[in-house]
A and B are shown apart, each in its own frame.
Chain A
C-alpha cells in the first residue's frame, strides 16, 4: 500500500498505527558518558498475542517437529526454504534481515524460553511478561521502568515530545517516560476486524454484512484489495520503528524504549513459509532493519529484545493454526549483541517431553535473559535485578555474556 497515494484518497487514514505503540524514557543516564565511551541503548519489543516460536525459529533437526507442525512446518528445501542458523535450527524465510544480522554475529535467538507464567490467558500472560512479577495481577509498574528507577538519575534530555496512545505496562511506573505516536486516527487492524466479523456472523448477520462491505470499501479505496492480509501490520511495524529509531538516534534522544506489536494470535490459517505469520514476521524483520539503519552509529551500542507472553502448541490444531502454549523464543538484535548463536537447552519435542503433553517445555527463564541484558548494558547488580526489577527472581540468575 502506498502511503502517499493513500493519503490523497482517504485523508483520515493517515499513518496507520492501530497495532503499534511506542514509549521511551527521556532521561539520559549520567553513566552513559562513562569512561568506556559507550552510550548504551535498549529497545524492548513486545509481541502481543503469543508468537509461535516453533514457526519462527524451527527445530528442523528435531525428528518430531515436522509431524507436529504438519502443514505449516518449515523445511530446509522447497520453494521457500527456511534459513539454517546452525545444523539444528532454521529461521523463518520472511526474516532475511535478522538472518544477516545473525551471520554478522549481531543477533541471537534464545529458544524454549518462557516467563514464570504457566496458564494460557493473553491478558495475564502479558501482565507477567511486562510487570516482571512472578504472577499476574500486578499492573502498576513494569520491569523496564523499575530498572530505570534503579539507574543513577541523569539530566533530562528532552521535553515536550508528543505523548502517544498509552505507555506499555513494561515501561509504566515512577520513572517518568515520554511517548510518541502520530496523531492520526489509527485503523483497527485486520485481525480485530476479522474477529468482529466472525462475532457478527454468529450474532448479527446485518452488521456482519455491513462491516464486511465497509472493510472491502476500505481496501478498494486504498488500492489494497489485491494484497494479502497483513499488509497494514507490516507497514505499521516498519513505520513505528522508523520513527522510534529517529528519536532515539538524536544526541539528546531517549536511550530506552518499548514498543508493542499486535496480531500474533495465530489460531487459524497461520501459514508456513508464506501466509499470515510470514507477513507479520516480515514486518518485525523490517522493523529491526529500520532500527539498525535509523540508529546509525548508535546501533553499535544497541540491544533490541523481542519477547512475547507465551508460545503456542507444538501440534497444529484443526484449522491449520496453533493454540495457546508455553515456551517460545526471544530474539536479541543489535550491534552490542554477542550474536550468531541459538541459545537453547533443547527439551525435545517427543510427547513425553512436551509441557502438559502439548507445548514446548520451558528450559530457560525469560527473566534470566532480560536480567543478563540489563546487567551487561546498564550495570545493574544481581540484587537489584532479583529484588526490584524482577521481584522474587533470585532463582533466575542473569544470563552471562549476551552483550559483547
Chain B
C-alpha cells in the first residue's frame, strides 16, 4: 500500500491525539490507510464508554458529598461547642540555633529556600510523566490527605488521561472532549460540580458521542451536574406550589444557555420570551437532595411541585401541560431546529478543520445532521470522508490538553498520577473540566498560540526534556511522530540540538507537534 506520511499526520493529529511512540506503529498504519485508521474507532461505539474500578455513579457521588458535608459541619459544631482547640503547633524550628550538620537538615534548608515558589495546586506528586521518580521530597511537610471530592476528581481525571494516552487513534476521545466542552460544566462551581465532573462526561456525553444529538441533549440537561452548574435546581415555577409557598420564582440560567450555547446559538431565532418560556417549561427539573424526599439523593428527579403549571409556547409551538414530558418534547424540537444543525456543524468543522470553517463543508455537515435527525456518527463519518478535512493545511493549534496528551503518547508514558497534567493544564489556562464560563474553552488558534502560553509550553517541554531526555532517541521519536512528513528544518533542529534533553524539548515544541 502506498505510504502517505502527510495524510498520516492529518489522521493522527487533526482527527486523533497524535502518534504513540514505542511499538505502536501508529504512523505506519495511518499512512497506509489514513481514512480507515480514523474511522476504525467509529465502528466501536462501546469503546467510547469509560468504566474503571472505583468510578461511581452520580447519585453515589452526590451522597458522598452530602455525607462529607455533614461530617465537616458536625466537626465544626463540636469544635464550637468545646471552644476552639489550639491549632496543632508546627514543629519548633529555631534555625539560628541549629548546629547539627546533617543531610536532612541541609535538605530541609534547601527545600525551604528553594521550593516555596512552586505554582499553586501542586498537590501530591507533580511528576506523573516520571512515575519512577519516587516520593516527594522528604523535607516537605506531609500534604493534607485529600478529601473524597478531591480524590474523586483525581481518579476521574486519571481514568480520562489514561484512556487518551492508550487509545489507538484518539478520534473518539477527541469527540468526547469536543462534546464535553460544548456541553461544559465547571468543577469550580462547587463541591457537587467537582465530584460530578467526571461522572457527567461518562454518563451524559460518552454514551451519545456516536449516537443521536437529541439523546445527548436530554441526558445533559437532565444531569444533576448541569442542573447544579446552571442553577436549575433553584428555579421554581412562580405559580407552582413551591413557588407560591416560598415566594420565589424562575431562574433563566439553564434555559438561556440551552438555546444560546447548546442548540440554536446566538442569533438562532429565539427571543427573550422564548428563554423565559423554556425556563418555565423546565421548572421542576432538579436532583434529589440529601434528605431524599424526592428520590434517591443525588439523582435526577422531576419535582412537580416546582413545575410551572399550564401549557407553554416556545418558538411558536405550544406544549401542553404534560409534566416532565413537556420539557422533553420541547428539547427534542429544539434539537432538530435548523439553527441547531447550523450551529453544531459550524462548531464541529471549526474544531477539526479550521478557525474559519469552509462554508461548503459546514453546509454538507448541516445537511447530514438534518437528514439523519442529528446522527452524530453520520456527521463524524462525513467529516472524515470529506476532501476538505484532508486538504486543509494543519493550521489549528493543539489545545494544552491535546499537547500534553500527544506528548505523553509519543513518549509512551501512561500516567499513574494526574498531578503533572492537572498542574500544567492549570498553568496553560485549560484547567480540566473547569472553564471560566458556560461557553467552554476557546477553540481557535489565536487563543492557544498566545505569547505567554507559548513560553509556558516551552518551559513544560523543557521540563519533560530534562526528565525524560536521558532515555530516548529524539530522532526515533521524530520517526514515530512525523517520519518523512517532518520538515527539513525540524529534523535539522533536532539533529543539531546540544543534548537529548534539548532535542526532546524542541521536538515536542516543533510545528509538527503543535499544529493539527
Are A and B subunits of one complex? yes
A binding-site residues for B, Cβ under 8 Å:
7, 11-15, 18, 21, 48-50, 122-123, 126, 139, 157-163, 165-169, 172, 180, 182-189, 191-193, 195-196, 198-200, 202-204, 206-207, 210-218, 239, 243, 246-247, 249-254, 262-265, 267
Query: For the complex, is B385 an interface residue (Cβ under 8 Å from A)?
Result: no
B458-A192 in contact (CB<8A): yes
Kindly provide the distance from the CB of B424 to the nearest chain A CB, expressed in whole angstroms. Answer: 8
Nearest first, the 9 A-B pairs at minimum CB distance are: A162-B137, A160-B138, A214-B455, A265-B498, A188-B462, A14-B117, A49-B498, A214-B451, A213-B451
Give every chain B residue within 8 A of A163 (Cβ-Cβ): 133-135, 137
- Cβ-defined partner of A263 (8 Å) among B449, B498, B500, B511: B498
Q: Are B117 and A247 in contact (CB under 8 A)?
A: no
Contact partner of A166 (CB less than 8 A), chosen from B102, B114, B115, B468, is B468
**Whole-angstrom CA separation of A21 from B500 in the bound complex:** 14
State which of B116, B119, B511 has its C-beta within 8 Å of the C-beta of A185: B119
- Cβ–Cβ < 8 Å partners of B138 in chain A: 159-162
Q: Which residue from chain B places its CB closest to the CB of A246 in the assembled complex? A: B106
State whether B514 touches A161 (Cβ < 8 A): no
- Whether A157 lies near B117 (C-beta < 8 A) is no
Bound-state CA distance A206–B503 (Å) is 22
Cβ contacts under 8 Å, A165 to chain B: 130, 133, 463, 466-467
Chain A residues whose CB sits within 8 angstroms of the CB of B501 once the complex forms: 48, 262
Task: Please name 30 pairs of A and B residues whose Cβ atoms are closer than 8 Å in the assembled complex, sorted by A.
Answer: A7-B117, A13-B117, A14-B115, A15-B114, A18-B459, A139-B471, A161-B104, A161-B107, A162-B138, A166-B130, A183-B136, A184-B119, A185-B427, A188-B505, A189-B462, A191-B502, A193-B458, A199-B506, A202-B487, A204-B515, A207-B511, A211-B454, A211-B458, A212-B451, A214-B452, A214-B455, A216-B451, A217-B452, A252-B103, A263-B498
Contact yes or no, A185 B459, CB < 8 A: yes
Residue numbers in A under 8 Å from B452 (CB-CB):
214, 217-218
Docked Cα-Cα span, A167 to B130, in Å, equals: 12
With beta carbons under 8 angstroms apart, the residue of B119, B134, B469, B499 that contacts A12 is: B119
A243 to B106 Cα, complex, angstroms: 9
Pair A217/B451 contact, Cβ less than 8 Å: yes
**Contact between A166 and B467, CB atoms less than 8 A apart:** yes
In the assembled complex, the CB of B503 is this many whole angstroms from the nearest CB of chain A, namely 7
Q: Does B490 contact A (CB under 8 A)?
A: yes
- A246 and B110 in contact (CB under 8 A), knowing A48-B498, A262-B502? yes
* CB nearest to B493 among chain A residues: A199
CA distance A167 to B134 in the complex (A): 12
Nearest CB in chain B: distance from A157 CB, A: 7
Closest residue of chain B to A215 (Cβ to Cβ) is: B455
> Which chain B residues lie closer than 8 Å to A263 at the CB level?
498
Partner of B511, one of A166, A169, A203: A203
Provided the pairs A166-B466, A166-B468, A249-B101 are in contact, do residues A264 and B114 lie with their beta carbons within 8 angstroms? no
Q: Please give the distance in Å from B182's CB to the nearest CB on chain A.
A: 26
* Assembly CA distance A254 to B471 (angstroms): 25
A15 to B116, CA, bound (A): 9
Partner of A14, one of B114, B427, B461: B114
A18 touches B466 (CB 8 A): yes
Query: Within the complex, what minimum Cβ distance (angstroms) separates B416 from chain A?
Result: 15
Determine the distance from Cα of A159 to Cα of B137 in the docked complex, in whole angstroms: 10
